[in-house]
């Protein structure tokens, strides 16, 4: 009896020690997917995270993403006065699987896709539980944006990593329409498959969004609508995709539709669009909002702001500067006021990049334009030229130039398609300098890089790259290869 | 989980019912040697956990059953064994001259060294209590083979890095588990511990010793036992005090003086010297020749007071101690203070069947320090300024006092320039505040109950509580004060400057162990000791912090000075503070068993098996199973050996076993939930708050496992005139936690997984030789040395054997962790003065390219480590020395690189004399490239071996001379003992490393760090 008492006492002691509270610990700071996403507002905050993850303007001090790469690799940049060698490898056309740019472009686009797929997964769980029509409407418009972002990211990846846009059986990029398991790896789909996937995402997005962005009141004030992917942004994506696919009829139709509601900015309005980030200027179709704490785009080019004391390590190339006449309002925006011009192609020219001088949002804070109606005009011009209507193309070009020139110039006359495309390319160069287009334009139109000697001399770098060089397609980056040894590398690397 | 105990309980019941109750009694007696009673002798009931120590009169009292064997042991004496018979009093006379014998006693079991199958080394109070280091760990350096103690800062109380038998993990914790009086404690909190309280430190090395600590024993275990009272002891007092000074060690490099620097600047046409005439340079050099380290460093005072009271009744003992320690750092405005109080109480029932003890230790420490050790921000790097300051700047104001502004204008950013960095730092060190307070409470309770014959149940619980507070104030009226708050009104800086950052945190750790022990001797030959355990661990950390930018200079110190966050200047609110709040928990749960078997003291076997669950892992990976087997053969107990070698002791040990590391990320309270995908707010866009994934979970995470093989020999020749041990081991860590690439489609490019393995193998030797022991003289030499080879056996396949992420080191298969992976420096091209490097295949180049990096086979961790010393005693005199050394370790010397910089000259920094040998003319043969060469100090450090230096050193870690007055001298005085001593720390160092201090806590690159000091103290110990 005494024994039993003693043993019971001991048993009680051992039993006091419980195990689960020591071995199954959930920290208070943990937020699981189920808890994170429960309502339409939660889904919207997930969508906000997707927007925030898309940053083609990321980088600084010589590294970066697509906004810097397009100009640095081509002919819009020369070495800056305060350079300590930033970017000279890439400027020298040395791009390898380990280079930062392909890694950044690949990794960050797939991160956006992954984020979007996670919210879409939660959407599928939450949508059936929604009880009001308003909630369902809001949810559909959230899904529309998620699909549009997912499709657009696949399209951007394809632009950089597919060797061809026309040979649909060539390798494209990995299609991700779900949240993968860690350590799973996937092959590249063909160009045709990726285009079909992108078209499908954008089409579904357009359908879900409908003609108007009804639930926008839940996002921001009405004038901020240009910062979100509404019906027009989806359409603009479709137009750009169609142009790359070679669906010129579709591209032209969409471009013309978009030109309706988005008049080109003329004169001071053009200047305000960049230097004041004036959101009311309707030329903008989709713009990435940048506020204090976000990327400072000028940091891609200079250490301490855009002025002469900003320690610029990149400047406007002489070849681009030489194309800018005083008659062109774009010069006011592109060339920062404290620039020094000594003489044509002089090595002492200090040509400061002025597109991102800061705004009312803050010193060094500027929005990033993704779609403007000027691009639609240029898509229209290109499609007209390709359809054989060279006069219409010339008139479209004139439309744009009329908006940009102080004193109007006569419409150009094109002898043939090639001449028309050259003029479109020239206008694209002036219009979209430092907005992430140049490399892709040269690639799509199969043109060579021909640098001004003063520019390539500033870096002691090669002055040209042949049209169709393998380096017009980026290498699949090391980040993918080291985890996915079976993935197919692009030719030449 | 509870149900899993069912079988333990069943076993418990089964065991209990079969045995009747024991007939235990209290036996007592006196232990003495030829001179008289011997206090402090260990008394152990063999094969049990019952042990005690004799009191000041040599008396002991312990409960034992008839037939059990009492073992008496004392350092330097031959141990004695007495079998308990019918009588209750046993007087034992100890014979001198035997090897160091102690009881190996850990949280879970106790056994005499002879019967230990484990590789264990120990240090007693004598070796540490006279030392003047604020952290007791620093005193252990060089005293134990295989134990590396690296201290990287001279701030009193600075944390040390402790590595036993090599680095066993890439990302995870590499330090051993520390256990104080049975409580596992934070390995970083030793500054708060009073070394006067420590009775003994034991270092557990092999798997047989550490496996029982399975969930945290993979890096070894260090067990610290504090002092206790004895039964039936009169009240005694022991007062100890020390007083002394600390100072900077000599600088092992030659800096330019004013004249040399100005003339060098003149020669190369850069800097102030180039703007002055020869006469002006001479004048300036005569006026000012400042050795800035004399200004920043000082002689610091150390003092300590300690009072210990011990007492004991028939059934209780008590030990109480009060301590105060204060040490000034050798750098201005740094110091450390500690108050400590301890009470260790033990009690037992009249029949001795129930024993319990309660320990309480409360400490408060305050450390006033300076930030910026190792910093590259020159205005925030005080130690760098002390080394680099320009000699031609005067440190004095016109009135002759040390300047606090250097004539700079407050509020004018234009007046601050790199050459003025020493002035800025003097000002900052004087005006700013950097305080760390720690309240540390260690408390434990343990009880055991011999409730049936051969069966003892035990319970123990402990807490380790640390309350931290840090306070840093950058004073708004300091030179840098006005530039701390960015302006929102068009000005660069807001109206109010200064920063106050404060944090408070509480760290509470709880541990409990419940055990059931069975012990019996069969046929007087077979001793069996088996124990079952259940262990529970839980730890909680919470804290808050804030940083306020913008302080009212009239009120600095509290929140009264804070400029409100709502204040608007221009377009914005510049004074919005940043806030933080954390709360995290950790937990472990284990059950395990230990089995000891002894056959006639000739053979022994120890086996351990345990199952551990960590909160860090899930599903099948949550539980780890670890086990060990150890065996010994006491050859000296064999008849054939005894007859041939009567005065020789010899024991062979061998063990193999595994242990786990669940702290897969080194930082405390980190990697808390890596198995789960998590979301968080963040990713803000257009002013809205987003929700984004913050962590992609990896469900297959598991324990890092270390398997260790150890073979050792313990020996004593010529009646232990020469004694020691040799151990060889191999330790292999598998499932290493490290970064592995994953496809970017996962929104990340790498995750941490368990992949790859690493090995440490080595040999350890410990020797003690009594040179002379006659006529009152006793001369003993002791030494230990260890060699450890660390290498990475396997990395993730996709890395092709090498992980290089920039910098100077990389992970290379077949090489040690932190192996330098650099381009070899080939000197200076005589034709143009540029630096030359060897390409990977041995050619010469002037261009640094990653493809020319080679594996140097040199690591920042030492391969060789050890120490040696002497102890000479004659009558009341004692003289001891203790040396320690590290060899075959390398470090990048960025201090020297910057002081030999020639790519720029006018950078506000002094130069070493060798800079003057920079290349000047075609054909010059020199090792210093031309002035204005394109490569700077950091290029050489990150890319080349130009400043990769051998950081081996041999140091006279401690020397002590003491005298104890004899009892006869003191008989008319009211005191029973009196001892005086003088001692010094770090008096002499031999090293080729160019700097203040060759010791740097295993850093790969050193710049502007706080060097460890020399310390001299005078001490007194009074017993009454």
- B528-562 burial: b if 16+ Cβ within 10 Å, else e: ebbbbbbbbbbbbbebeebebbbbeeeebeeeebb
CA distance, residue A90 to nearest chain B CA (Å)? 16
Residue A159: the pLDDT is 97
CB distance from A53 to chain B under 8 Å? yes
Residue among A379, A395, A250, A267 at smallest CA distance from A331: A267
Residue B34: the pLDDT is 65
Interval B511-570: pLDDT, tens: 999 989 999 999 888 999 999 999 999 999 999 999 999 999 999 999 999 999 999 988
The confidence band for B212, taking pLDDT boundaries of 50, 70 and 90, is: confident
Nearest to A33 among B615, B679, B698 (CB): B679
Interval A149-199: pLDDT, tens: 999 999 999 999 999 999 999 999 999 999 999 878 999 999 999 999 999
- What token pair was written down for B358? 């309660």
Q: Is a pLDDT exceeding 90 seen at residue A486?
A: no
Return the residue in B356, B744, B935, B938 with the most chain A beta carbons within 10 A, the one to mutate for interface testing: B744
Q: Is residue A346 part of a domain?
A: yes
Task: Check if the beta carbon of residue A437 is closer than 8 Å to that of residue A425.
Answer: no
The confidence band for B915, taking pLDDT boundaries of 50, 70 and 90, is: very high
**Average of pLDDT values for B57-69?**
78
The confidence band for B17, taking pLDDT boundaries of 50, 70 and 90, is: very low
Residue A377: the pLDDT is 97
Q: Is a pLDDT exceeding 90 seen at residue B91?
A: no
Report how far residue B132's alpha carbon sits from residue B240's, in angstroms, rounded to the nearest whole number. 12
- Cα B149 to chain centroid distance, Å, stands at 6
- List C-alpha distances in Å: A321 to A67, A290, A317, A336, A433: 19, 27, 6, 12, 11
- What token pair was written down for A196? 């079909």
Q: If you measure CA to CA, which chain A residue comes closest to B488?
A: A362
The confidence band for B14, taking pLDDT boundaries of 50, 70 and 90, is: very low
Give the mean pLDDT of chain B: 87
Contacts of B14 (CB under 8 A, 6+ apart): none
Cβ separation of A36 and B679 shorter than 8 Å?
yes
Chain A contacts of B681, Cβ < 8 Å? 45
Cβ separation of B614 and A479 shorter than 8 Å?
no
Residues present in chain A in total: 493
So what's the ipTM on this one?
0.93
Task: Check if the beta carbon of residue B725 is closer than 8 Å to that of residue A459.
Answer: no
Beta strands in B212-292 (DSSP E): 221-226, 233-247
The confidence band for A12, taking pLDDT boundaries of 50, 70 and 90, is: low
Nearest to B742 among A11, A28, A183 (CB): A183
Three-state SS annotation for B590-645: EEEEEEEEEECCCEEEEEEEEEEEECCCCHHHCEEEEEEEEEEEEHHHCHHHHHHC
Higher pLDDT pick, B109 / B122: B122
Q: Is a pLDDT exceeding 70 seen at residue B306?
A: yes
Residue B12: the pLDDT is 39
Burial class (CB in 10 A: 0-12, 13-18, 19+), A221: exposed
CB distance from A25 to chain B under 8 Å? yes
Residues present in chain B in total: 1024
The confidence band for B321, taking pLDDT boundaries of 50, 70 and 90, is: very high
Q: Is residue A17 part of a domain?
A: yes
The confidence band for B35, taking pLDDT boundaries of 50, 70 and 90, is: low
Residue B372: the pLDDT is 84
The confidence band for B20, taking pLDDT boundaries of 50, 70 and 90, is: very low
Q: Is a pLDDT exceeding 80 seen at residue A277?
A: yes
- A238-263 burial: b if 16+ Cβ within 10 Å, else e: bbbbbbbbebbebbbbbbbebbeebe
Chain A contacts of B742, Cβ < 8 Å? 182-183, 483
Task: Check if the beta carbon of residue B310 is closer than 8 Å to that of residue B229.
Answer: yes
Nearest to A23 among B584, B622, B685 (CB): B622
Nearest to A483 among B1, B512, B741 (CB): B741
Return the residue in A460, A483, A486 with the most chain B beta carbons within 10 A, the one to mutate for interface testing: A483
pLDDT winner (highest mean) among A449-453, B201-205, B832-836: A449-453
Q: If you measure CA to CA, which chain A residue comes closest to B532?
A: A14
Residue B2: the pLDDT is 41
Beta strands in B735-816 (DSSP E): 737-741, 750-754, 757-772, 777-794, 802-803, 809-812
Cβ separation of B9 and A11 shorter than 8 Å?
yes
Q: How many CB pairs under 8 A join A and B?
A: 196
pLDDT winner (highest mean) among B41-45, B179-183, B187-191: B179-183
Report how far residue B531's alpha carbon sits from residue B549's, in angstroms, rounded to the nearest whole number. 58
Q: Is residue A154 part of a domain?
A: yes
Residue A1: the pLDDT is 52
**Average of pLDDT values for A4-29?**
72
Residue among B742, B319, B156 at smallest CA distance from A110: B742
Report how far residue B278's alpha carbon sits from residue B258's, in angstroms, rounded to the nearest whole number. 13
The confidence band for B16, taking pLDDT boundaries of 50, 70 and 90, is: very low
Return the residue in A17, A121, A142 with the most chain B beta carbons within 10 A, the one to mutate for interface testing: A17
Dihedral through CA B563, CA B564, CA B566, CA B569, nearest 10? -10
- List C-alpha distances in Å: B730 to A101, B28, B166, B656, B789: 45, 45, 10, 10, 9
Residue B49: the pLDDT is 66
Interval A296-336: pLDDT, tens: 999 999 988 888 888 899 999 999 999 999 999 999 999 99
Residue B21: the pLDDT is 36
Task: Check if the beta carbon of residue B741 is closer than 8 Å to that of residue A182.
Answer: no
Interval B965-999: pLDDT, tens: 988 888 888 888 899 999 999 999 999 999 988 88
Chain B contacts of A45, Cβ < 8 Å? 681, 688-691
Three-state SS annotation for B965-995: CCHHHHCCCCCCEEEEEEEEECCCEEECCCC
Count Cα neighbours of B180 within 13 Å in the Cβ-side half-sphere. Answer: 27
In the block, residue with structure tokens 């309270």 = B669
Chain B contacts of A52, Cβ < 8 Å? 682-685, 690, 692
Q: Is residue A486 part of a domain?
A: no
Residue B142: the pLDDT is 82
Chain A from 211 to 240: CB within 8 A of any B CB = 219-220, 224, 227-228
Residue A177: the pLDDT is 96
Task: Check if the beta carbon of residue B702 is closer than 8 Å to that of residue B754.
Answer: yes
Q: What angle is formed at CA A316 by the lines to CA A310 and CA A321, rounded to 5 degrees?
A: 135
Report how far residue B1015's alpha carbon sits from residue B983's, in angstroms, rounded to the nearest whole number. 8
CB distance from A141 to chain B under 8 Å? no
Adjacent-strand bridge partners of A146: none
Cβ separation of B613 and A19 shorter than 8 Å?
yes
Report how far residue B228's alpha carbon sits from residue A269's, in angstroms, rounded to the nearest whole number. 86
Q: Is residue A116 part of a domain?
A: yes
Report how far residue B895's alpha carbon sits from residue B893's, in angstroms, rounded to the nearest whole number. 5
Residue B109: the pLDDT is 60
Q: Find the domain containing A221 and state its range.
A: 2-469
Q: Is residue A481 part of a domain?
A: no
Residue B18: the pLDDT is 36
Adjacent-strand bridge partners of B981: B962, B1019
Chain B contacts of A30, Cβ < 8 Å? 673, 676, 678
- List C-alpha distances in Å: B625 to A210, B169, B593, B609, B990: 60, 19, 12, 7, 46
Q: Give me the percent of chain B exceeding a pLDDT of 70.
A: 94
Interval A103-152: pLDDT, tens: 999 999 999 999 999 999 999 999 999 999 999 999 999 999 999 999 99
Task: Check if the beta carbon of residue A477 is closer than 8 Å to that of residue A107.
Answer: yes
Report how far residue B883's alpha carbon sits from residue B95's, in angstroms, rounded to the nearest whole number. 30
- DSSP string covering B108-119: S-EE-GGG--S-
Contacts of B868 (CB under 8 A, 6+ apart): B142, B781, B782, B783, B784, B882, B883
Task: Check if the beta carbon of residue B137 is closer than 8 Å to that of residue B160.
Answer: yes
- What token pair was written down for A489? 């590398």
Count Cα neighbours of A460 within 13 Å in the Cβ-side half-sphere. Answer: 2
Residue among A63, A59, A58, A67 at smallest CA distance from A86: A63
Q: If you measure CA to CA, which chain B residue comes closest to A221?
A: B686
CATH number of the CATH domain containing A150: 1.25.40.390
Count Cα neighbours of A399 within 13 Å in the Cβ-side half-sphere. Answer: 20
Residue among B728, B701, B738 at smallest CA distance from B817: B738
CA distance, residue A262 to nearest chain B CA (Å)? 22
Q: Decide: helix, strand or coil at residue B587.
A: strand
H or E segment and range at residue B826: strand B825-828
Q: Is a pLDDT exceeding 50 seen at residue B284?
A: yes
- What token pair was written down for B121? 């080394």
Give the mean pLDDT of chain A: 93
Interval B111-156: pLDDT, tens: 666 777 777 888 887 777 778 787 888 888 888 888 888 888 888 8
Q: Which region, left, alpha or beta, applies to residue B524 given φ > 0 means left and ψ of -120 to 50 means alpha? A: left
Residue B66: the pLDDT is 76
CB distance from A184 to chain B under 8 Å? yes
Q: Give me the percent of chain A exceeding a pLDDT of 70.
A: 96
Task: Check if the beta carbon of residue B346 is closer than 8 Å to that of residue B317.
Answer: yes
Chain A contacts of B748, Cβ < 8 Å? 111
Q: Is residue A389 part of a domain?
A: yes
Dihedral through CA B23, CA B26, CA B30, CA B31, nearest 10? 60
Cβ separation of A482 and B693 shorter than 8 Å?
no
Cβ separation of A219 and B688 shorter than 8 Å?
yes
What's the pTM?
A: 0.83
Backbone φ and ψ for B691, nearest 5 degrees, come out as -120, 125
Q: Is residue A210 part of a domain?
A: yes
User: How many separate domains does chain A show?
Assistant: 1
Residue B670: the pLDDT is 87
**Average of pLDDT values for B724-744?**
91
Chain A from 79 to 108: CB within 8 A of any B CB = 106-107
Q: How many CB atoms lie within 10 A of CB A58?
A: 19
Task: Check if the beta carbon of residue B783 is closer than 8 Å to that of residue B866.
Answer: yes
The confidence band for A7, taking pLDDT boundaries of 50, 70 and 90, is: low
């Amino acid at each position: 009896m005494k024994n039993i008492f003693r043993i019971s006492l001991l048993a009680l002691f051992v039993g006091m020690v419980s195990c689960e509270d020591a071995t199954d610990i959930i920290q208070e700071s943990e937020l699981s997917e189920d808890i994170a996403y429960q309502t339409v507002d939660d889904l919207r905050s997930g969508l906000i995270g997707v927007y925030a993850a898309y940053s083609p303007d990321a980088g600084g001090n010589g590294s970066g993403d697509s906004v810097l790469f397009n100009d640095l690799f081509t002919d819009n940049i020369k070495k800056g006065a305060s350079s300590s060698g930033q970017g000279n490898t890439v400027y020298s056309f040395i791009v390898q699987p380990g280079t930062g740019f392909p890694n950044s472009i690949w990794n960050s686009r797939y991160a956006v896709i992954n984020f979007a797929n996670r919210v879409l997964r939660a959407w599928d769980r939450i949508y059936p539980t929604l009880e009001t029509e308003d909630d369902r409407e809001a949810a559909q418009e959230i899904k529309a944006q998620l699909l549009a972002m997912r499709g657009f990211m696949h399209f951007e990846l394809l632009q950089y990593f597919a060797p061809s846009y026309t040979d649909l059986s060539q390798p494209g990029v990995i299609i991700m329409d779900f949240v993968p398991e860690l350590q799973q790896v996937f092959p590249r789909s063909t160009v045709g498959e990726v285009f079909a996937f992108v078209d499908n995402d954008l089409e579904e997005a357009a359908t879900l969004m409908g003609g108007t962005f009804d639930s926008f009141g839940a996002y921001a004030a009405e004038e901020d609508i240009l910062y979100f992917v509404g019906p027009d942004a989806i359409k603009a994506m479709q137009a750009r995709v169609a142009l790359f696919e070679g669906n010129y009829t579709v591209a032209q139709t969409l471009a013309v539709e978009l030109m309706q509601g988005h008049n080109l900015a003329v004169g001071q309005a053009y200047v305000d669009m960049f230097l004041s980030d004036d959101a009311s200027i309707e030329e903008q179709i989709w713009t990435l909002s940048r506020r204090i704490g976000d990327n400072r785009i000028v940091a891609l080019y200079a250490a301490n702001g855009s002025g002469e004391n900003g320690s610029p390590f990149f400047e406007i190339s002489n070849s681009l500067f030489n194309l800018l006449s005083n008659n062109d309002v774009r010069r006011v925006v592109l060339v920062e006021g404290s620039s020094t011009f000594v003489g044509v192609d002089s090595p002492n020219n200090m040509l400061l990049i002025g597109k991102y001088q800061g705004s009312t949002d803050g010193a060094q804070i500027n929005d990033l334009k993704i779609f403007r109606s000027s691009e639609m005009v240029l898509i229209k011009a290109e499609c007209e030229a390709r359809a054989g209507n060279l006069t219409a193309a010339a008139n479209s070009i004139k439309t744009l130039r009329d908006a940009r020139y102080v004193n109007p110039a006569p419409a150009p006359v094109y002898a043939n398609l090639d001449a028309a495309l050259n003029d479109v390319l020239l206008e694209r160069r002036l219009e979209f300098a430092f907005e992430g287009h140049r490399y892709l334009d040269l690639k799509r139109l199969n043109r060579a890089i021909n640098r001004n000697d003063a520019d390539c001399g500033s870096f002691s770098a090669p002055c040209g790259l042949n049209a169709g060089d393998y380096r017009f397609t980026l290498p699949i980056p090391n980040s993918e290869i080291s985890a996915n040894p079976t993935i197919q590398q692009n030719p030449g690397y | 989980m509870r149900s899993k105990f069912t079988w333990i309980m069943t076993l418990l019941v089964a065991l209990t019912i079969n045995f009747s109750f024991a007939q235990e009694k209290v036996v007592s007696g006196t232990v003495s040697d030829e001179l008289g009673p011997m206090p402090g002798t260990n008394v152990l009931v063999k094969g049990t956990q019952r042990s005690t120590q004799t009191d000041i009169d040599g008396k002991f009292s312990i409960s034992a059953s008839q037939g059990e064997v009492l073992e008496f042991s004392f350092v330097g004496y031959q141990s004695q064994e007495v079998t308990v018979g019918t009588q209750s009093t046993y007087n034992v006379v100890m014979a001198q001259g035997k090897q160091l014998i102690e009881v190996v006693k850990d949280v879970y079991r106790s056994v005499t060294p002879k019967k230990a199958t484990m590789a264990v080394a120990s240090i007693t109070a004598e070796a540490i209590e006279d030392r003047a280091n604020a952290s007791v760990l620093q005193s252990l350096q060089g005293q134990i083979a295989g134990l590396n103690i690296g201290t990287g800062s001279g701030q009193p109380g600075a944390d040390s890095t402790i590595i036993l038998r090599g680095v066993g993990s890439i990302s995870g914790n590499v330090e051993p588990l520390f256990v104080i009086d049975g409580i596992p404690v934070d390995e970083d909190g030793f500054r708060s511990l009073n070394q006067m309280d420590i009775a003994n430190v034991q270092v557990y090395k092999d798997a047989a010793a550490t496996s029982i600590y399975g969930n945290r024993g993979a890096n070894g275990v260090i067990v610290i036992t504090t002092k206790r009272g004895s039964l039936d002891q009169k009240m005694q007092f022991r007062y100890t005090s020390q007083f002394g000074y600390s100072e900077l060690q000599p600088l092992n490099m030659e800096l330019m003086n004013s004249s040399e620097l100005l003339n060098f600047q003149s020669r190369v046409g850069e800097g102030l010297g180039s703007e002055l005439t020869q006469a002006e340079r001479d004048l300036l050099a005569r006026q000012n020749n400042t050795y800035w380290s004399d200004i920043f460093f000082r002689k610091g005072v150390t003092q300590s007071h300690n009072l210990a009271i011990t007492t004991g009744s028939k059934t209780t003992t008590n030990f109480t101690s009060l301590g105060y320690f204060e040490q000034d750092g050798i750098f201005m405005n740094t110091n450390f203070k500690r108050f400590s109080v301890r009470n260790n109480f033990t009690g037992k029932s009249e029949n001795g069947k129930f024993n319990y003890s309660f320990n309480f230790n409360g400490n408060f420490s305050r450390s006033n320090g300076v930030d910026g050790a190792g910093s590259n921000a020159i205005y925030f790097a005080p130690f760098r300024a002390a080394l680099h300051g320009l000699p031609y700047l005067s440190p004095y104001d016109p009135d002759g006092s040390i300047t606090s502004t250097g004539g700079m204008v407050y509020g004018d950013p234009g007046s601050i320039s790199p050459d003025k960095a020493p002035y800025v730092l003097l000002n900052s060190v004087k005006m700013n505040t950097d305080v760390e307070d720690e309240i540390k409470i260690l408390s434990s309770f343990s009880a055991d109950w011999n409730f049936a014959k051969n069966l003892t149940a035990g319970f123990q619980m402990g807490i380790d509580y640390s309350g931290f507070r840090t306070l840093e104030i950058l004073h708004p009226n300091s030179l840098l004060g006005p530039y701390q708050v960015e302006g929102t009104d068009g000005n660069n800086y807001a109206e109010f400057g200064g920063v106050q950052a404060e944090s408070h945190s509480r760290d509470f750790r709880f541990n409990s162990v419940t055990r059931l022990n069975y012990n019996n001797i069969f046929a007087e030959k077979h001793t069996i000791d088996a124990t079952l355990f259940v262990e529970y661990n839980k730890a909680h950390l919470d804290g808050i912090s804030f940083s306020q930018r913008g302080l009212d200079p009239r009120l600095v110190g509290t929140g009264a000075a804070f400029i409100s966050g709502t204040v608007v200047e221009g377009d914005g609110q510049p004074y919005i503070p940043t806030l933080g709040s954390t709360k995290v928990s950790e937990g472990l749960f284990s059950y395990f068993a230990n089995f000891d078997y002894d056959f006639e003291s000739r053979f022994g076997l120890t086996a351990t098996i345990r199952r551990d669950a960590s909160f860090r892992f899930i599903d099948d990976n949550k539980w780890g199973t670890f086990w060990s087997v150890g065996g010994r053969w006491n050859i000296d107990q064999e008849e054939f050996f005894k007859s041939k070698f009567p005065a020789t002791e010899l024991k062979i040990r061998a063990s193999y076993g595994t242990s786990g590391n669940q702290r897969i990320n080194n930082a405390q309270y980190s990697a808390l939930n890596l198995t789960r995908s998590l979301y968080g707010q963040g990713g803000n866009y257009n002013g809205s708050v987003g929700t984004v994934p913050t962590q992609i979970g990896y469900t297959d995470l598991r324990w890092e496992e270390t398997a260790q093989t150890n073979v050792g020999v313990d020996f004593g020749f010529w009646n232990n005139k020469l004694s020691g041990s040799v151990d060889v081991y191999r330790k292999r860590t598998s499932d290493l936690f490290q970064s592995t690439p994953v496809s970017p489609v996962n929104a990340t490019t790498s995750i941490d997984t368990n992949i790859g393995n690493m090995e440490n193998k080595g040999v350890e030797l410990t020797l003690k030789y009594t040179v002379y022991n006659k006529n009152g003289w006793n001369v003993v030499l002791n030494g230990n040395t260890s060699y450890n080879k660390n290498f990475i056996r396997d990395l993730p396949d996709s890395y092709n054997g090498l992980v290089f992420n920039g910098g100077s080191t990389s992970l290379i298969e077949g090489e040690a962790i932190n192996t330098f992976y650099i381009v070899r420096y080939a000197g200076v091209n005589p034709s143009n003065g540029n630096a030359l490097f060897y390409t990977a295949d041995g050619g010469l180049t002037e261009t640094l390219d990653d493809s020319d990096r080679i594996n140097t086979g040199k690591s920042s961790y030492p391969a060789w480590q050890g120490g040696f010393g002497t102890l000479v005693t004659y009558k009341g005199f004692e003289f001891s020395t203790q040396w320690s050394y590290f060899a075959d370790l390398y470090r990048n010397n960025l201090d020297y690189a910057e002081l030999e910089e020639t790519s720029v000259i006018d950078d506000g920094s002094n130069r070493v004399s060798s800079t003057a040998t920079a290349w000047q003319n075609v054909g010059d043969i020199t090792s210093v490239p031309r002035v204005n060469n394109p490569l700077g100090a950091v290029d050489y450090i990150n890319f080349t071996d130009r400043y990769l230096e051998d950081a081996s050193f041999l140091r006279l870690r401690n020397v002590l001379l003491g005298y104890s007055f004899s009892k006869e001298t003191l008989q008319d005085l009211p005191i029973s003992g009196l001892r005086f001593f003088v001692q010094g720390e770090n008096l002499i160092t031999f090293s080729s490393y160019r700097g203040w201090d060759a010791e740097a806590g295993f850093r790969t690159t050193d710049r502007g760090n706080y060097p460890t000091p020399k310390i001299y103290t005078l001490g007194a110990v009074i017993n009454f």
